[in-house]
Structure 1
Amino acid sequence: MNYPPIAQEPSVHIGAYTSVPPTEIIFCEGDRNYTHVHFAHRPMMTLSVTMRVLHERLGEANFLRVNRSALVNKAAIAEMDADAVVLHNGLVLPVARRRLSFVRRSLEVMKPQIFLLLVFATTFSEAQNLIKNPDCELPLIAGKISFWTEALGTNWTTRSDDPTAQSGSNYFFAGEGVEAELSQTIQLDDYKCSIDPENQRFNFTGYTRSWNQKPTDESQIIIEMLNANDAVLQSDDLGTFNTISNWNFVSKSIQSPALTKKIKIRLLSHRKNGDNNDGYFDSLSLVAEKNLPATITVKSGNWNDPTVWLCGQVPGSTDAVVIRHVVALPGSYTAHAGQVAYEAGGSLSMSTNGKLQLGN
């Protein structure tokens, strides 16, 4: 899969034999001697490099350390509130109290240069979080968590302290009950043209934590790909966690199978002790990767007939074309594509003076 850089610029070695343009990085998250690097257009990468070393490689001019475990591309920051920075993709990262003044000053210095960063901000904003109310910050409606469904248990609510939230003020709390499940189903209508040719990935990130007790209550995250009839096409169990000392980072890059129409996020809490079910969740994110467009045939016919192609659009010079049927190029017609692949039963015939041009 091709991941084009956001801008033409020198690449920086970040580790693991990997070099990338710094503008591809949204933020980096420290995890002891490892760092999770979150990109705008490629899957999250975990490096055996400390945050300090990575900051030195990326430089201080464009990257800002907002807390002990978060290093942010300044161009990815949309605004700063009282004690956090808000990224263009909607993610909220807390700012350490001792760094508040420094972060504010750094962002103030950037204001005269903001026009230089607009292209990067536009790119980051494309990485939209598909989960609604991803951090449980919206007010409860009739005592229930907005945009989420109680699949098991009826006591799901917000919680704000003991422990404190991973970001913002609140996080997801199951209340009382031995087993509890909260879910949200996300429609994927906007991604049909990349899902059906199996050219679409979704990147999930989130945090879990448990109350300090023995035995320890557990948090579990399951992500399901559903078809139009809500049948499960694929299920990914991201694991069961019971970290008590800090918020545990969870991530998964998922290839969506053909005919996927919805993604279901399932949050499950398992009580092992006491009255409350203390498996917590916070800062959830589901982002669609930006991929090279793919156009596939749905029937035989002429190349320039929109009904021959998935989503009713004739391929252009950047499209990855997949031919599954018998397609003809009319006489004196020039077809365009970025690349062409043939599957069983697919063929392309050219009439007199018909041409296929690859690329621009």
Structure 2
Amino acid sequence: MAMTQMPTPDQPLKLGTRGSPLALAQAHETRARLMAAHDLPEAAFEVVVIKTTGDDRAMIASDKPLKEIGNKGLFTKEIEEAMLDGRIDIAIHSMKDMPTVQPEGLVLDTYLPREDVRDAFVSLKATTIHDLPEGAVVGTSSLRRRAQLLSRRPDLKLVEFRGNVQTRRQKLADGVAEATFLAMAGLNRLGMTELAAGAIAPEDMLPAVAQGAIGIERRVDDARAAQLLSPIHDIPTEQRLTVERAFLATLDGSCETPIAGLALIEGGEIWMRGEILRPDGSECLRAEGRASLSDAGELGIDVARALLDQAPKGFFDWKRG
């Protein structure tokens, strides 16, 4: 294998990212891991902020559900275009936001060690979901969280709630809602874990597929980027996400779909749990399965098919509305 040409301050490796505080924290984590892996200075890596269509639309329509703004690709399209035309070398993504299929010419095959997968319950008045008074207002933009919450507490009133951590915190202080949810992984990466009243166990609220994982995308033919990324790739995270994303792809999941799923490695096995819900929380279907690590390729597909077999006629009709 040819010697990898290392990036330098004069010719840095360009890391593309969205510009939110969390996206930047993820880009900085990636840069730090690359610096340590290759014993290179910070100046050898340039973080390039790219505004996406999704960012613009979300800002303009902050009171609308994500499904009315567009699909997951809205938050990646411009970044991927910048990589295809050579303006950036790699792109750093929150994996729970990523479509299951990449554009031609790009590959997503590097994952950092996965963070906490749990959802965080955030409230200035309550410590758990069960502490909320009857009819309390809860803010969330996640169709999954809305459906899961309504399946447990159908008495609650749900309102649209988007924005960064600081914005959501201010909305709680202003009384727009009594509680909301964030990802524990994001709070950990931002050093803001004190905002969480508590973390919700996956047994109580199964997380989004790939929650807590950072993925790094590159051009298929960029052998240099592949070699630079190889030392920071986490194989257990790859094994878990391979199963989860196969599960999601089989269900044709997107921002419009209340789907939850989590794969865990236990010894030489991988354990996958998944669920699908009606948006109003009136029905929740669950399935799980296990496979050896050496034979886990079909596990996500099998769990998804078990859910599809359970689903009554008309269960997915709302997806076509």
- TM-score normalised by L of structure 1: 0.22
The answer to which structure has the higher strand fraction is 1
Comparing both chains, which one has the higher relative contact order based on Cα–Cα distances under 8 Å and sequence gaps of 6 or more? 2
The answer to which structure has the higher helix fraction is 2
